[in-house]
């Protein structure tokens, strides 16, 4: 089954501008002032709830072999977590929430602990496997 991804679409009414290499403030990503505190991925074998550190709002994308900027119709929202993960906030990729499920597993790195499912470990946390954590993934209060 093919995966359908919602790609950003250029605004055909906006002018394509030359990419300024020295001035990053006018074309760089903006930071969202308010956002839900948790984010989780709904693709693949994701199984953890992460804490959001900041949300970047991208209105421009690089075009024309890297020397032009094209304005997007809708901004791309990127949630950056405390542990350094990046989630593109889109309905079929990742979601944010205010209150996670009580039985959902939080990311250990985001909370200052060890990773719940280590890279070279046995992929369990206190007898809980990843597959079970994936089923429990979700939020009590909906976010964006």
pLDDT tens, position by position, 34-91: 898 999 888 877 888 899 999 999 888 888 777 788 888 888 889 999 999 899 888 7
- Residue 123: pLDDT band (50, 70, 90) is low
Q: How far apart are CA 24 and CA 103, in angstroms?
A: 43
pTM of model > 0.75: yes
| Domain coordinates in residue numbering, the chain | 17-142
d(CA 140, CA 142): 6
Cβ atoms < 10 Å from Cβ of 100: 21
Partner residues linked to 112 by β-bridges: none
Q: Is 116 helix (H, G, I), strand (E, B) or coil?
A: coil
pLDDT of residue 52: 93
pLDDT score of 16 more than 80: no
3-state secondary structure of 49: strand
Q: How far is Cα 121 from Cα 88, in angstroms, rounded to an integer?
A: 28
């Amino acid at each position: 089954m093919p995966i359908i991804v919602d790609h950003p679409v250029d605004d055909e009414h906006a002018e394509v501008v030359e990419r300024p290499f020295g001035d990053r403030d006018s074309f760089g990503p903006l930071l969202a002032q308010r956002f839900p505190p948790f984010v989780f991925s709904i693709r693949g074998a994701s199984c953890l709830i992460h804490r959001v550190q900041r949300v970047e709002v991208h209105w421009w994308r690089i075009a024309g072999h890297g020397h032009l900027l094209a304005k997007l119709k809708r901004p791309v929202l990127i949630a950056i977590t405390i542990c350094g993960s990046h989630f593109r906030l889109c309905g079929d990729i990742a979601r944010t929430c205010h209150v996670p499920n009580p039985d959902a597993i939080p990311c250990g790195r985001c909370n200052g602990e060890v990773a719940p499912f280590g890279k070279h470990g046995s992929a369990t946390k206190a007898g809980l496997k990843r597959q079970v954590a994936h089923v429990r993934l979700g939020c009590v209060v909906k976010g964006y």
